[in-house]
Amino acid sequence: MTVAINPLTDLLAEKGVLLADGATGTNLFAMGLEAGEAPELWNEQHPDRITKLHQDFVDAGADIILTNTFGGTRHRLKLHHAQDRVHSLNKTAAEIARAVADRADRKVIVGGSVGPTGELLMPLGALTYEDAVAAFVEQIEGLQAGGADVAWIETMSSPDEIRAAAEAAAKVGLPYAYTGSFDTAGKTMMGLHPKDIHAIATDIGGGPLAVGANCGVGASDILSSLLDMTEADPAATVIVKGNCGIPEYRGAEIHYSGTPPLMADYARLARDAGAKIIGGCCGTSCGHLAAMRQALDSYVRGPRPTLETIVERIGPLRNKTANESAAAPARERRRRS
């Protein structure tokens, strides 16, 4: 199915590869957000701080900025007694990002961040597919009203929840992209293999503008997932938005091991592995993103990396690869036989 030209596909056609922004939560904690607070409430309480975060990412070179709405469904907001403010909080967030994007001296895309509901869909949980679609429609209507260019469905584990969010975007009339978090032995928590990310929602609306991976457990692991995704469909527009190295506790605070040079090398390897939208997730500061921008701007194409090359340059895997975990039952059967 042909996807109509929109700002994201238009900019991709112009530039070939796009830099997405870095971490939202990590950077908001550095600005004073307390553990247990809802970041989405800051869209109304501290719009100046949200504006500054978006502006800092644009100044660092981001082509795509994501709204501060990861937990913007009624299911997440009810934990903070804000389930009746879904539309206004998402609309305000998109308006803040849109204003920053429109002030930039170049084209900047606003992705409306849509995270998981936090509920399990039936039969594993109580949430029906129809109710999930309705919750995502409510959120995406707010994002669209505020000026988001695309629904950016992210950090998903369940293929059914991806489909529900994609269906909601199609109902609202907003193009969509989606990413999974391959954080459980190289697959998502619900067992989705990276190579199977492409086919989840091809029949919904015009199909996704882009698919890929974000978050997870570390930069090496997400690059392993990227190899699986681009091998499965070399022509696809693939997103990779990895964490800034490995998180570790230092006292009560989480520190991420990734340095700007390491994240620059991650960006180069992601490009060589076929990613067309490259960004950072947890721990990725504006300084990291600026190094990634410079790496992509001075990019000289290298060979497609092997897993060994990734480990050598970025560091060891923290998890089994998806292919290793898929092969494990067969190895176990051979041992027992």
pLDDT at 331 over 90: no
Q: What pLDDT band is residue 310 in, cutting at 50, 70 and 90?
A: very high
* Sequence-ordered list of residues with C-beta below 8 angstroms from that of 65, at least 6 positions apart, any chain: 21, 54, 57, 58, 97, 100, 101, 108, 109, 110, 111
Q: What pLDDT band is residue 327 in, cutting at 50, 70 and 90?
A: low
Mean pLDDT, residues 92-111 taken together: 98
Residue-wise pLDDT tens digits, 247-280: 776 776 777 878 999 999 999 999 999 999 999 9
Top pLDDT among 175 and 325 is at: 175
Mean pLDDT, residues 223-238 taken together: 98
Query: Distance between CA atoms of 150 and 166, rounded to whole angstroms?
Result: 11
Query: Distance between CA atoms of 252 and 250, rounded to whole angstroms?
Result: 6
- If one counts every other C-beta atom within 10 angstroms of the C-beta of residue 49, the result is 17
Query: Distance between CA atoms of 260 and 264, rounded to whole angstroms?
Result: 6
Residue 223, helix vs strand vs coil: helix
Q: What is the pLDDT of residue 321?
A: 79
Q: What is the pLDDT of residue 322?
A: 74
Q: What is the pLDDT of residue 3?
A: 41
Q: What is the dihedral of CA 291, 211, 97, 42, to 10 degrees?
A: -90
pLDDT at 2 over 60: no
Ramachandran quadrant class, 225 (left: phi over 0; alpha: psi -120 to 50; beta: rest): alpha
Structure tokens at 327: 């092969």
CA distances from 228 to 182, 218, 225 (A): 11, 16, 5
Q: What pLDDT band is residue 204 in, cutting at 50, 70 and 90?
A: very high
Choosing among 3.30.450.20, 3.30.565.10, 1.10.1530.10, 3.20.20.330, the CATH entry for 7-336 is 3.20.20.330
Q: What pLDDT band is residue 1 in, cutting at 50, 70 and 90?
A: very low
The helix/strand count (H/E) of the chain reads as 13, 10
Residue-wise pLDDT tens digits, 115-134: 999 999 999 999 999 999 99
**Percentage of the residues of the chain whose pLDDT score is greater than 90:** 85
pLDDT at 329 over 70: no
Q: What is the pLDDT of residue 5?
A: 67
Q: What is the pLDDT of residue 185?
A: 87
- If one counts every other C-beta atom within 10 angstroms of the C-beta of residue 43, the result is 28
Q: Which residue has the tokens 């490259």?
A: 278
Q: What pLDDT band is residue 333 in, cutting at 50, 70 and 90?
A: very low
Q: What is the pLDDT of residue 217?
A: 87
Q: What pLDDT band is residue 27 in, cutting at 50, 70 and 90?
A: very high
